[in-house]
Amino acid sequence: MRAEHDFSAGVRGKHHRAMQGGYTITIRKADGTTEVREIKPCAGTVILEPDLRTHFPDSKSVNKALSSLIRLIPARSKSLHRKRGA
């Protein structure tokens, strides 16, 4: 960033909710025509809340955390089945 760029009044995650539903890009071409593109998140796209980004800055950190949680699920569900059956 250059020194003249001042983001001190910026709001983190300001457009987060709107981006979840998709967005439109208007491309103005040199020949005077315009092209409008509708951009929708792909199926399976996961969008983190802005406050989670400090803890999960990239895909690797998210995948690591979720993998550790998944390992806990079978142990918990087995104990629930035992309690119900007893």
Query: Does some domain include residue 56?
Result: yes
Confidence of residue 79 (pLDDT cuts 50, 70, 90): low
Query: Does some domain include residue 69?
Result: yes
To the nearest 10°, the Cα dihedral for 61, 65, 66, 67?
Answer: 100
pLDDT digits (tens, 9 = 90+) for 27-77: 999 999 999 998 888 777 877 888 888 899 888 999 999 998 888 886 655
Number of domains in the chain: 1
pLDDT digits (tens, 9 = 90+) for 1-21: 678 888 888 887 777 777 777
- Domain hosting 34: range is 16-85
Task: Name the one residue in this structure whose structure tokens are 């020194």.
Answer: 3
Query: Does some domain include residue 59?
Result: yes
Query: Cα–chain-centroid distance for residue 74?
Result: 26
- For the whole prediction, is pTM greater than 0.75? no
User: Residue 8 is encoded by which pair of tokens?
Assistant: 């001190």
Query: Does some domain include residue 34?
Result: yes
Query: Does some domain include residue 2?
Result: no
Query: Does some domain include residue 70?
Result: yes
pLDDT over 60 at 81, yes or no: no
Query: Does some domain include residue 49?
Result: yes
Query: Does some domain include residue 9?
Result: no
